[in-house]
Amino acid sequence: MAKLYFSYASMNAGKSTLLLQASYNYQERGMRTVILIAAFDDRAGRGRIASRIGLEADAVPFEPDEDLFARISAMVSEGPLACIFVDEAQFLTENQVWQLARVADRLKIPVMAYGLRTDFQGKLFQGSAALLAIADELREVRTICHCGRKATMVARLDEAGDIIRHGAQVEVGGNEKYVSYCRRHWEDKMNGADFT
């Protein structure tokens, strides 16, 4: 039975690396996979994903209003698909999460989504909230805070490296723009406290 999986973590936990490794494992056995990524996330180039450790792969860019069930159904007509992967799944809309659930339920293709759970203000992304609500399996991918505790939160930085407390929920970026903290140190940073 195909399932909808959501692997979530803070920044720099290796989500994209895990996605690329899992997709490669399928392909190595002669199975076809598709990797999806939000069209506006072009950090590695349009229709590409890249991990911090240097792994890269082509991906299919999608728009926020795109029907992913219809798109994947069309791909199936070109040949069998073993698995669908979604990088930066927090950028999915709620409707798209339900469309991916239909891919698992009706097309019987597993869907593995990887993304952030919360934004820099500690609030759920729309896609993450829907995935947390309806995914068949949830998997936490762990990374650590500078203190050694599990990092569950992410803070956004300005060009000078100072914490940003307000702004748009979605702003694509990597290590130059975001840093992961445990809850305690994230709260300290958001409240302007120095921490040890």
List residues with catalytic annotation.
88
Q: Are 9 and 141 in contact (CB under 8 A)?
A: yes
Indicate the SS3 state at residue 38: strand
CA angle 117, 123, 124 (to 5 degrees): 40
E strand residue ranges, 63-136: 83-86, 111-116
- Pair of tokens at residue 94: 């709620």
Contacts of 40 (CB under 8 A, 6+ apart): 91, 172
Contacts of 160 (CB under 8 A, 6+ apart): none
- β-bridge mates for residue 68, sequence order: none
Cα 152 to Cα 9: distance, rounded to the nearest angstrom: 7
